[in-house]
Structure 1
Amino acid sequence: MYDILFKNARIVDGTGNPSFYGDVAVEAGRIAAVGKLAEREAHRTLDLAGLVMSPGFIDLHTHSDFTLPLFPRAASMVRQGVTTQLVGNCGFSPFPVVPERLDMLKAYAAFIDAGLSWEWRSLGDFARLLESIPLATNVAMQVGHGTVRIAVMGFENRDPTLTEVSAMENFVAQAMEDGAFAFSSGLIYVPGIYSQTAELVALASVAAKYGGFYSSHIRGEGDTLLDAVGEALTVGREAKLPVQLSHHKANGKKNWGKITTSLSMIDASREAGHDVLADQYPYTAGSTTLAAVLPSWSVEGGISSMVARLNDPETRGRIKGELDEPEENGLEFDLTTIMISSIPEGPNKKFEGQMLTAIAEQKGMTPVEAALDLLANESGGIQMITFSMDEADVRQVMRHPAVAVASDGWTLSPESGGRPHPRSYGTYVRVLGKYVREEKVLRLEDAVRKMSSLPAQRLGRYDLGLIRPGCVADLVVFDPDKVGDRSTFQNPHQYAAGVHHVIVNGQLVIENETDTGAVAGKVLRRGR
């Protein structure tokens, strides 16, 4: 007898092949059968009456490791169909932790840290913490280059010594032995920005020995996009491991259209036999820490050193001068496109949800002066949204067969507050509603493949991402006529529309759009 029998589904199986109608049986956390099963018995039978059933969505790019301990039910993610999250992206991971540099690490991650206890030292320790909380989704982990570099070198702007390289290699090896899937980098952020390509190759080579891959928030997504893509491909080629290009895009109006060339670079690398994929969120705005707008030298030594420089009139003047001439100084962000999305409690909290230009007007300052004023008062705890991408680019990247859908978000709940980027609530359903149903940029079957079997392939988990007997029963049921995003930039804390049921490891975690409380999520470990 099956545990659950789902009858009369329109099955989109994750392969990209045309959908078909049938039944899906679940037993012991796996898909037991697919086909015409109406006469078979089950403990529970749900008639889907033609709703779409697809594999659960696998999000290759989240930062939920910094929020899951507070929001383990992953409401913003699971309610749009996400059943597995890959964390540790952009060089940010909450491990390894070296006690004497913990304050540096906490300041580094302050803009996404939802209040972690920081009581662990390694991936293994952190995994045990995650296993002790009521997870609704599966979690896979990466080890972040930025965190590893902080553990060994702090925020020093120099090349590592041979001893320091060895120490970083040991941290990466320990994380891989503990089950990390990949080594990630974030090369627009300090301290990653201080690294040379050779350092990345050395550390990625360690991940390669364990069968891992290299994911990268590349060194630039604006003027230097093509060089940055080239560097990531070089790291993969020289370290002999697959590459995942994170949130692929071109920032800044003068760079729009460059993704035609960057996608061609991906194609050429794949044709040469190198395993390269990219991922993308379906918005023309990104989000990160406001401190990312600063010249890298001004954050050397960490966030406390940054604040000290901003409070020194002469040094602040030098920083302002560089921000006033961003192109001449190799800076990527246009401050007139920035909205402040989250600020710690205090007198500046009122500026959440406002454009930096509007804040500057209220303060009687320029946007550059307003940004520096906020950073001097709030340290590294400010999130921003940047409206810097082109809709035509978004569509072109989305159509590419080697690009997966991914959110670059994290687990949230309406009580978390702030004005976070709506991608944490709406990425997957936005693709299904806006780009599949309404605008027909993708076929439904192709979109689901980009959300399921393609990211499963990157994780090397061929028992995920497909509706096929023997595969893990991670499934989502949605109404193709109603599925869509409700979350907006001004009102982001709104759950997805049209997602009826979500099944994780054979258990209903969302049933009729309601959280069942089932503790179904697992911590996934590479090779286990």
Structure 2
Amino acid sequence: MNRRFQCWSSCCAIVSLSIDLGAAGPDYDLVIRRGKIVDGSGNPWFHGDVAVKGDRILAIGRVEGDAKRGIDATALVVAPGFIDMHSHSDWTLLEDGNAQSKIRQGVTTEVIGESTSAGPFKGKLKPQTVSVKNESIEIRALRDYFAAVERAGISVNIASYVGEGTVWECVMGTSFERPGRGELQQMKGLVAEAMNDGAFGLSTALMMPPSSLATTDDLIELCKVVREHGGIYSTHMRDEGLGVFDSVEEAVRIGERAGVPVDILHLKIADEKYWGRMKEVVALIEDARRRGVNVQANVYPYTRGNNDLASIIPPWAHEGGRAELLARLRDPQQRKRLKHDIRNGVPGWYNHYTAVGGDWRRMLISADNPYKGLTMDRVIALKSDGKSPTPDPLDVLFDLLIEQNGSVSTVYAHHTEEDMNFALSQSWCSIGSDGSALATEGPLRRGNPHPRSFGTFPRVLGVYVRERGLLRLEDAVRKMTSLNAAKIGIRDRGLLQAGLFADITVFDESRIIDRSTYAEPFQYSEGVEYVIVNGQVVVDKGRHTGARPGRALRHVTDQNSVRPEKH
């Protein structure tokens, strides 16, 4: 026989064998057919099918054989489930595990634990007790929280940092004293314990106590523990306004000295005096990356942030905790000092009041109180009506904080579309909502929340991909999926790939859009048709099925990923 013909015959036999085996096929639980597959890698889309068995993706491409259920994805995009890199759903998920406002955006994993995490609660922090299925569960460590969430049942997966603020309070309480060597060692021990429990890294919110009490050297020491476990340092920087350049340099220094990757939360310039300088901020990050420091960032697609009204109170007034803050707000002499510091600033303190130019119209009450949804100028006018002489607006705000026990959630209009767009367009900048899992009804419909809790991911796809063309579809999906997974070390999610967990979002790219606004926040986004979490359908034709297959993801140290210490 001719050798070329013999070789060709052998190849035919192999192909035939493959076809025979494929025809026998596995028993799929679910096949999503004829979709426009955007696999999360950033590579060009292609048409094909996705087969799921159990909680895993079994095959992608042209899938033959039967399935228990089929979904026709003609004219729809099939993507990995979105990973929310910056979420505050730690406790709302225990109130309602359906995670409605997130799952309806296509989010299948939420990363929680920014600065204050749901554990540890030890030392000077009392254990937390939660009720789960009529059973009281005491939370002392992060592992207890994970167990509580899984027992309650959740529709999304969670991954958590350990919060530096929580660790600090465990050891130092509400004192503003500097920790001694022994106390810093206690903090390092708590970080190590949390990393062993499954935390993915250490997170800070350095603009407010207690997190702001930590020095750069303190954070380097804590991050050295994180390095030993192959984790990441995630930071809400110390100052996003006039100190933004110093704050970026601090984040870089921590990453470089401790040998850990860094992710900067909601990268922005939040002071009108520095608007338009995002290119300089990005240049600092690019310079660090060229030196081999793994610094990245995330953003949300809005130009307003959300913080507490108490953030306009300078740090010194927070010493001793909430009761001491309220006492200072009531003291006429302390009020004089507070007014001076708020209007003139304090070195090293990011001041929300000056960041918005002292313009009360750029502050909106988002808390659940009688003034929810009103801008601060309206609140001041209402509370000053009929009073003579007209009170100082800051006195009105101090009184409001006293009435609300020292906390009033507030939305601040403090950064620009142009700066946000430039940050978003960087290859290392991903998406995180900085929002919570809420709902349009039930106990999680409260206050006047920032629309990012309902609209972040559809807004990116609807506005910045479809309407404005700032991002390619493939790049936007990568920023929501594999980029976030790679940042924190989730290795088996974030891509559509055989063998990975079946977290999948199916959406209509011609229709996907956010509906939540600052005036009417309680509106779900549109265009997400199906969401699959760990192989189970949670959103079916746009409706929540009630399924709660979510899991608490635990970071596992891989010694091959542990980076050497910098000297």
Question: For 1:250 and 1:276, how far apart are their aligned partners in 2?
Answer: 17
**CA shift in 2, pair 1:117/1:317, >3 Å:** farther
Question: For 2:437 and 2:425, how far apart are their aligned partners in 1?
Answer: 27
Larger radius of gyration: 2
Question: For 2:329 and 2:348, how far apart are their aligned partners in 1?
Answer: 18
Task: Tell whether the 8 Å contact from 2:513 to 2:527 is kept in structure 1 after alignment.
Answer: yes
Q: SS of 2:352's equivalent?
A: coil
User: Which ranges of 4 or more aligned residues in structure 1 deviate by more than 6 Å?
Assistant: none
Residues 106-156 of structure 1, C-alpha deviation per residue, up to 9 Å, x if partnerless? 9xxxxxxxxx98831100111110110121000001110111111110122
Match of 1:29 among 38, 41, 55: 55
Residues 400-445 of structure 1, C-alpha deviation per residue, up to 9 Å, x if partnerless? 1100011001111123221000000000000000111011111111
Question: For 2:243 and 2:259, how far apart are their aligned partners in 1?
Answer: 24
Residues 179-204 of structure 1, C-alpha deviation per residue, up to 9 Å, x if partnerless? 10010011111111122111111111
Number of aligned residue pairs: give it. 511
Question: For 1:485 and 1:317, how far apart are their aligned partners in 2?
Answer: 44
**CA shift in 2, pair 1:366/1:475, >3 Å:** farther
Matched, 1:414 2:432: no
Match of 2:37 among 2, 7, 11: 11
Question: For 2:417 and 2:34, how far apart are their aligned partners in 1?
Answer: 37
Matched, 1:361 2:387: no
Residues 205-236 of structure 1, C-alpha deviation per residue, up to 9 Å, x if partnerless? 11111111100001000000010011011111
Q: Which amino acid aligns with 2:50?
A: V
Task: Tell whether the 8 Å contact from 1:326 to 1:333 is kept in structure 2 after alignment.
Answer: no
Q: Which amino acid aligns with 1:361?
A: A
Question: For 1:478 and 1:331, how far apart are their aligned partners in 2?
Answer: 40
Partner of 1:454: 483
Q: SS of 1:372's equivalent?
A: helix
Q: How do 1:64-463 residues align onto structure 2 when only pairs under 5 Å count?
A: 64-89=89-114, 91-98=115-122, 100-102=124-126, 119-326=138-345, 330-334=349-353, 335=358, 336=360, 337-343=362-368, 349-364=369-384, 365-415=391-441, 416-463=445-492
Q: Name the stretch that deviates more: 458-467 or 1-10.
A: 458-467
CA RMSD after TM alignment: 1.8
Q: Which amino acid aligns with 1:339?
A: L
Percent identity, please.
40
Measured after TM superposition, the shift of residue 379 of structure 1 is 2.4
Residues 292-325 of structure 1, C-alpha deviation per residue, up to 9 Å, x if partnerless? 1110000011111100111111112211222122
Q: SS of 2:366's equivalent?
A: strand
For normalisation by structure 1, the TM-score amounts to 0.94
Question: For 1:495 and 1:197, how far apart are their aligned partners in 2?
Answer: 41
Q: Which amino acid aligns with 2:57?
A: I
Matched, 1:505 2:525: no
Residues 313-342 of structure 1, C-alpha deviation per residue, up to 9 Å, x if partnerless? 111221122212237784421352211101
Task: Tell whether the 8 Å contact from 1:158 to 1:195 is kept in structure 2 after alignment.
Answer: no
Structure 2, unmatched stretches of 5+, are 1-26, 130-134, 385-390, 558-567
Task: Tell whether the 8 Å contact from 2:124 to 2:173 is kept in structure 1 after alignment.
Answer: no
Q: SS of 1:69's equivalent?
A: helix
Structure 1, unmatched stretches of 5+, are 107-115, 344-348
Task: Tell whether the 8 Å contact from 1:5 to 1:25 is kept in structure 2 after alignment.
Answer: yes
Question: For 1:15 and 1:139, how far apart are their aligned partners in 2?
Answer: 22
Task: Tell whether the 8 Å contact from 1:85 to 1:139 is kept in structure 2 after alignment.
Answer: yes
Task: Tell whether the 8 Å contact from 2:97 to 2:154 is kept in structure 1 after alignment.
Answer: yes
Q: Which amino acid aligns with 2:116?
A: F
Q: How do 1:448-527 residues align onto structure 2 when only pairs under 5 Å count?
A: 448-527=477-556
Residues 247-304 of structure 1, C-alpha deviation per residue, up to 9 Å, x if partnerless? 1000121111222111111111112112211000000000011111110000011111
Task: Tell whether the 8 Å contact from 2:28 to 2:68 is kept in structure 1 after alignment.
Answer: yes
Question: For 2:191 and 2:481, how far apart are their aligned partners in 1?
Answer: 27
Q: Which amino acid aligns with 2:381?
A: E
Q: Which amino acid aligns with 2:505?
A: V
Question: For 2:475 and 2:494, how far apart are their aligned partners in 1?
Answer: 13
Question: For 1:353 and 1:118, how far apart are their aligned partners in 2?
Answer: 35
For normalisation by structure 2, the TM-score amounts to 0.87
